Amino acid sequence: MSDPRENSGSTVAKGKVYPSPEAALADITQGATVLIGGFAGRGRPEGLLRALVSNGVDGLTCICQGAWPQSPEIMDVAELIANGQVRKLIAPLGFYSGSGGPVAAFWQSGEMDVETVPPGVLAERLRAGGAGLAGVFLPAAPSDRFLGGKEVRRFGDRDFVFESALRADFALLRAEEADTLGNLIYRGSQRNWNPVMAMAGRVSIAEVSLVHEPGGIDPEAVITPGIFVNRVVLQAD
Q: Does residue 204 belong to the site contacting another protein (CB under 8 A)?
A: no
Q: Does residue 136 belong to the site contacting another protein (CB under 8 A)?
A: yes
Residues 39 to 78: which contact another protein by CB under 8 A?
39-42, 66
Q: Which stretch binds another protein (CB under 8 A): 9-17, 79-87, 93-101, 207-215?
A: 93-101
Distance CA 197, CA 168 (A): 9
DSSP 27-76: T--TT-EEEE--BTTBS--HHHHHHHHHH---SEEEESS------TTS--
Q: Whose Cβ is closer to another protein: residue 11's or residue 145's?
A: 145
Residues 12 to 41: which contact another protein by CB under 8 A?
39-41
CB 34 within 8 A of CB 169: yes
Q: Whose Cβ is closer to another protein: residue 66's or residue 102's?
A: 66
Q: Which stretch binds another protein (CB under 8 A): 6-14, 16-24, 131-139, 166-174?
A: 131-139
Q: Does residue 96 belong to the site contacting another protein (CB under 8 A)?
A: yes
- The DSSP element (H or E) to which 234 belongs, if any, is strand 231-234
DSSP code of residue 159: E
Distances (CA, A) of 226 to 69, 160, 183: 32, 34, 4
CB 164 within 8 A of CB 138: no
- Kindly list the residues in this chain that would bind another protein in the complex (CB under 8 A): 39-42, 66, 91-98, 107, 114, 116, 118-121, 123-124, 126-128, 131-139, 141-146, 153, 155-156, 160, 164, 185-196, 218, 220-221, 223
